Structure 1
Amino acid sequence: MKYRLIYILTFILLSKNITAQEGYLITDFELKENRGVNAFIREYVREIEINSIDQMTISDYKVITVYNQKGNEAVQAYAWYDDSRKVKNISAEVFDASGNKLKSFKARDFNDKAAVDNSSLYQDSRVKALPFNPISYPYTVIFEKTIVSENTGLIPTFYFVNRSDVKVKNSKYIFKYDTKKNKAYFKENSFEGLGINKTITADGYEYEINEMPSFKSEELSIDPSRRFPNIMTRLENFNLYKYKAQGITSWDALGSWYYAELLNGKSDLSEETLNEIKSLTKDLTSKREKAAAVYNYVQNNFRYISVQIGVGGLQPISAEEVDEKKYGDCKGLSNYTRSLLEAIGIESYLAIIEAGRSKVNVTKDFPNFIDGNHMILAIPEKNNTYNWIDCTSRTNPYAFLGDFTDDRYAFVIKPSGSEIVKTPAYSNKDNYQKLEANISFNTQGKINVEGSLLTKGTQYSNRSYVASLEKEELKKRDKRFWSQINNLEVQNHTFVETKDSLKLKEKFAFTGTHFGEVINDRMLLQLNILNPFSHTPKRYHNRENDFKIQRGFYDEDFIAIDLPENYQIEFVPEDVILNSEFGKYTRKITLENDKIHVYKSFLLSQGEYPKEKYESYYEFINHVSTEEKAKASIKKI
């Protein structure tokens, strides 16, 4: 009897262990098959059910194996929530490489914290996140969550996978709704060649993919929203924070609804403010002068903060509230500026845009509120054009956006006639930098530099903030900018900013050490230590992705190098001209008694290019980087 009991208990324990290992045992064969992959999504199902015009349920089920530290970010075991979006349930289980369960997590075990950033004054958004820190790899996570939201106008975009170097075994999107009471629209992005199956069901649609290979992480790859397969979904009738919409089928209809519902009563200003702004602009004659004066007034008297309470993610706080508190978020400041302009008879429109260094467009043929993370202001000009201003910037000149919102489609919101419009582009030679400098040095390598720097376009916007730095911060910034100069000591650095012509002129003087390399009675001198282009792109033997040069630029350097006494020029590199469809590089050297004059120009052309041309791009950039290291030799007389 005793031995029989031991046998039964042993059998139960072994059976339990075998069962645990069957699904999530990570074999050597699997590791070999998935070599080069950071994570493996075994199963990922999202089901969205529209229960009514003002309620939807979003359920996620994901089983993912993580092979290394880089794969941790693919787990995404968290849930955002606020007053209009509730976490109904959330749980997780973690298994080791042998398939043994390490730990189970219930809702109470998840970390719960405010979802705020440093520029946020107040928000009601929070996040529940899985508190698991792996100590070994690989491991597997089963993650489940259910969200109930009233905002059927904000159906999240579904990505079958949204990370590079992540392989997928099965990924599925299920969308259910009452087909008799509403109409759903879908935008299928980047489906080509992946074999994604679409099924029309009695109550909606299903999309599914099996055995999807990973997308390789590569330098200069195009935007993820255009690389990774995804589905955008919207309803014709929806709810947005208690505001209901019916029959929305176009950007025009969406803009008219937004204007009527979310901007209603948001433009009122006090008599005191109205009189102040009219007095400020009464002696100005042109529309541009008046609009610029209003923009400068807002820049000088109001500060940016983030407001994300309730509908605050889309609706501006009132102009009166901004006026009283002297701060606002992008929507509040844009609407406040719009209200001030309206008070002096200048029409302007709010515009929703996707801001950031990467140029991401609002989807032209799919009206929605998921696109966009920022709001700016569009002021109509002649010939159906606009002047654009970002009311959160305290430094941008009037009608200049810089590289945060340039060259991308935005949603311009009007009472009628709302439209998708592209913001101005600053391309190639628009983004100009001119360096002029004189270098003198002694045989111990001490260097003295005096020069000037002129910037325009996005090069101007990227440097304009430097002019407002405190003295010590400026010194630190200069040491980073001229990091190739050892022991740099700045004697002088001044600025002249011409906002009307979008120029920044700098004058500088500094010293350093260890310039040149002494070899017996010779010295080797690097000819361009002030503005060398030193980037070497990564090389790929089998490039998988097309690539994009996000922004072009044009640099010119004029450098004069004075030789020390009793030295003469022994050797200088030959002149170079490199021509490519990606740009042009020129270096010319002229000699004048005891001076070496170096001229460099480098044009890099923005654009999208097929993957087959990446090797040519690599060769061109690598050649430029090599030429920038060119040295001259001088010899003691």
Structure 2
Amino acid sequence: MNNRLILAFFLFLFIQFNLLGQEYAVERIPVELKSRATAVVRHESINMDMRNETNIVESVTRAITILNKAGESHAELLLFYDKSKSIKEVKGAVYNEFGIQTNKFNLKDFKDYSATGQVSMYDDVRVKHYQPSTLVYPYTIVYSYEIKHSQNLFIPYWRPNYYSDLAIEKSSYQFQCQPQQVLRIKAENIPSEAKVETTDKSKIYIWTATNLSARKDEPFSPIKYTEEICVKVVPENFKYYKKGGQVNDWKQFGKWVYDDLLKDKKDLPQAAKNNVRDIIKDIESPKAKAKALYEYMQRKTRYISIQVGIGGLEPFPASYVERLGYGDCKALVNYMQALLDEADIPSYYCIVEAGNAKKSLDTEFANAVDGNHIILCIPFEGDTTWLECTSQKQPFGFLGDFTDDRLVLACTEEGGKVLRTPKYNWAQNQQIRNAALQVQPDGTVTGQIKTTFSGAQFDNHFSNIFKNPVDQNKTLKEYYDVDNIYFNKVNYEISDADGPVVVEELDINIKSYVVKSGNNIIIHPNIFNISRTIPESRNRKNQLYINRGYTDVDELTFELSEEIKGKIMPVHKVLESPMGAYRLAIKQEDNRIHFYRKLEIKEGLYASEDYQKYFDFMKEVSASDKGKYNLPLAVNE
């Protein structure tokens, strides 16, 4: 009898153990959710409890199964904190493929870093980081954390299907506030309307999404996934570091930023004001004055990288930057504004979503989450000028592809103004290369190359200007990517007649580039600019999007040391497509071979069915770029 009881007891424990383990067993994931997924969210619960304007508790519980190494980034946990955000609790565990716990962790297992590189002005901005050390896939990480916010201006968005390689079993987002609190809510592509529960003490909104499959990444897709689920919540009345405000649109938000965060920050010391007057005393034009002050700011300051949302919205005063000589984008723009104010030159502090992808602010929904960078706008009459204040090298009035062609918010005394930054189109984004080359008897190619870079291509080789000769040569070998290439002379100049242009002049030597085969030589005339094909995209759903167009021209002349027999057939090829054009011309004049290539790619949004046209176009361009020519040599018979 006792043996039976003991057996029953252990059987019960075994069953319970297996039932618990089954919750995170990988075999329980629906097969359709594993397709194309590198990781699967088993369950996710995000709860924002706004008890009042200075006491918001964010509670998150999440279980993610990492299917393979490609999904490893989804297991990473980064928790930022500062004087407005404190981490109250973190705990978690790791489970193997069968749902059996193999490890657990809490806050003491996290690494703690400065978010700004240990610079004193920003020492309170830090990040907690945890990454499981599991090397066997698949596995599941389960964690929960609680963060207390002392401001309610930055409310995180809910975007459950933001990542294309992440499938979702279940995700929920809950926002709770007092019943009298007025909220502005924007919900896009939600599977169902929010469930709203109201009592005399609270109002709760709950959004839920289930069984969202991972999706195939389609190359050259629009920046924003058209079916992305997104919920944005912004309280109409807010508190931010003890400063209250009310925001219903961008005009109000920009006015609040100007009045409450910027107005008293341009406190230049008298010595700095005297410097401004000395710098501009002999300059007549307001734009020339602004240029001189910008270059002064570049020499005097250095940039500390920290995103707006992490470091807050409020800049440090101009006096701090004057004294310390550094700052983040907010502090440097504010400092530059202070210099301009002293010269009676008006300017706008502008919030922008920076990055290579052209992301604009949501014009229909004013909020503090949009925007990760600050730039400066100087509204000269008929000649609006934009400044990137975080670079010590960037030419005056040039933004480049980090903040070009997107809607930004200018914070002015009259209120917020939505402006668009300059666009550099395909015709302006030029790389123009000319080369005079000599082919030696042993096949070595020597000669001079001159390349100009302008528009969004200005930055292509710009950073190389400021490197030492050894590093310049090393980087040029990466840029040009030709076997056995050497650079005997390197020279750079920057001109600024009609917009900034980098001019690169090189003396090169390419050993054994031209191959001799019997009484023939084999030459690939397109040495420096061979286009690649683009990926195929069958059964495409998304439109074709080309983020930034360009124009490349390569004109090379080869002078041969040996005479060619007869005349080679000239080549003249023209390819046209809605997305661009390609022209290739090769001809012989005595012992000279002239090579001309021009490729134009036009930015824009095209129909999904046009992708095949673009694929076919680039495939033929790539094949033409790789063309080689077998030239017979004249020999004594």
**Into which bin does the TM-score normalised by the smaller protein fall?**
over 0.9
CA–CA distance in structure 1, aligned partners of residues 613 and 165 of structure 2: 25
Residue deviations 1:128-163 (CA, integer Å, cap 9, x gap): 333412221112222211111012001011111321
| Contact 1:571–1:634 (CA under 8 A) maintained in structure 2 | yes
Residue deviations 1:575-631 (CA, integer Å, cap 9, x gap): 110101110000011210111111111100011223322222111112111110011
- CA 1:83–1:275: 2 relative to 1, 3 Å: closer
| Contact 2:309–2:372 (CA under 8 A) maintained in structure 1 | no
Q: Which residue of 2 aligns with 1:240?
A: 240
CA–CA distance in structure 1, aligned partners of residues 607 and 484 of structure 2: 44
Q: Measure how far apart 1:36 and its partner are.
A: 2.4
- CA 1:153–1:559: 2 relative to 1, 3 Å: same
Q: Which residue of 2 aligns with 1:42?
A: 42
| Contact 1:123–1:307 (CA under 8 A) maintained in structure 2 | no
CA–CA distance in structure 2, aligned partners of residues 119 and 577 of structure 1: 56
CA–CA distance in structure 2, aligned partners of residues 225 and 295 of structure 1: 39
Q: Which amino acid aligns with 1:46?
A: I
Deviates further, 608-617 or 113-122: 113-122
Q: Which residue of 2 aligns with 1:284?
A: 283
| Contact 1:40–1:168 (CA under 8 A) maintained in structure 2 | yes
Match status 1:201 vs 2:197: yes
Superposed counterparts of 1:136-535, under 5 Å: 136-180=136-180, 182-189=181-188, 191=189, 195-202=191-198, 203-224=203-224, 228-245=228-245, 247-306=246-305, 312-382=311-381, 386-484=384-482, 486-501=483-498, 502-533=500-531, 535=532
Normalization by structure 2: what TM-score? 0.93
Q: Which amino acid aligns with 2:597?
A: K
| Contact 2:425–2:549 (CA under 8 A) maintained in structure 1 | yes
Q: Which amino acid aligns with 1:48?
A: M
- CA 1:549–1:84: 2 relative to 1, 3 Å: same
Residue deviations 1:424-474 (CA, integer Å, cap 9, x gap): 000101111111102222343211121211121111133222222211111
Q: Measure how far apart 1:123 and its partner are.
A: 3.2
- CA 1:10–1:231: 2 relative to 1, 3 Å: same
Q: Which residue of 1 aligns with 2:541?
A: 544
CA–CA distance in structure 2, aligned partners of residues 401 and 18 of structure 1: 59
CA–CA distance in structure 2, aligned partners of residues 225 and 351 of structure 1: 26
- CA 1:155–1:464: 2 relative to 1, 3 Å: same
Q: Which residue of 1 aligns with 2:65?
A: 65
- CA 1:77–1:417: 2 relative to 1, 3 Å: closer
Q: Which amino acid aligns with 2:330?
A: K
Match status 1:629 vs 2:620: no
Q: Measure how far apart 1:29 and its partner are.
A: 8.1
Q: Which residue of 1 aligns with 2:606?
A: 609
Q: Measure how far apart 1:19 and its partner are.
A: 0.9
Q: Measure how far apart 1:28 and its partner are.
A: 8.7
CA–CA distance in structure 1, aligned partners of residues 521 and 87 of structure 2: 69
Q: Measure how far apart 1:417 and its partner are.
A: 3.0
Percent pairwise identity: 28
| Contact 1:445–1:514 (CA under 8 A) maintained in structure 2 | yes
Q: Which amino acid aligns with 1:437?
A: A
Match status 1:106 vs 2:103: no
- CA 1:57–1:626: 2 relative to 1, 3 Å: same
Aligned-partner SS, 2:97: coil
| Contact 2:33–2:212 (CA under 8 A) maintained in structure 1 | no
CA–CA distance in structure 1, aligned partners of residues 433 and 150 of structure 2: 56
Q: Measure how far apart 1:30 and its partner are.
A: 4.0
Among residues 579, 592, 609, which one is paired with 1:582 in the alignment? Answer: 579
CA–CA distance in structure 2, aligned partners of residues 554 and 445 of structure 1: 31
Q: Measure how far apart 1:32 and its partner are.
A: 6.8
CA–CA distance in structure 1, aligned partners of residues 309 and 590 of structure 2: 72
| Contact 2:308–2:372 (CA under 8 A) maintained in structure 1 | no
In angstroms, what is the RMSD of aligned CA positions?
A: 2.3
Q: Which amino acid aligns with 2:243?
A: Y
Aligned-partner SS, 2:216: coil
Aligned-partner SS, 1:320: helix
CA–CA distance in structure 1, aligned partners of residues 119 and 629 of structure 2: 50
- CA 1:328–1:227: 2 relative to 1, 3 Å: farther
Q: Measure how far apart 1:227 and its partner are.
A: 5.8
**How many residue pairs align between the two structures?**
629
Q: Measure how far apart 1:67 and its partner are.
A: 1.0
Gaps of 5+ in 1: none
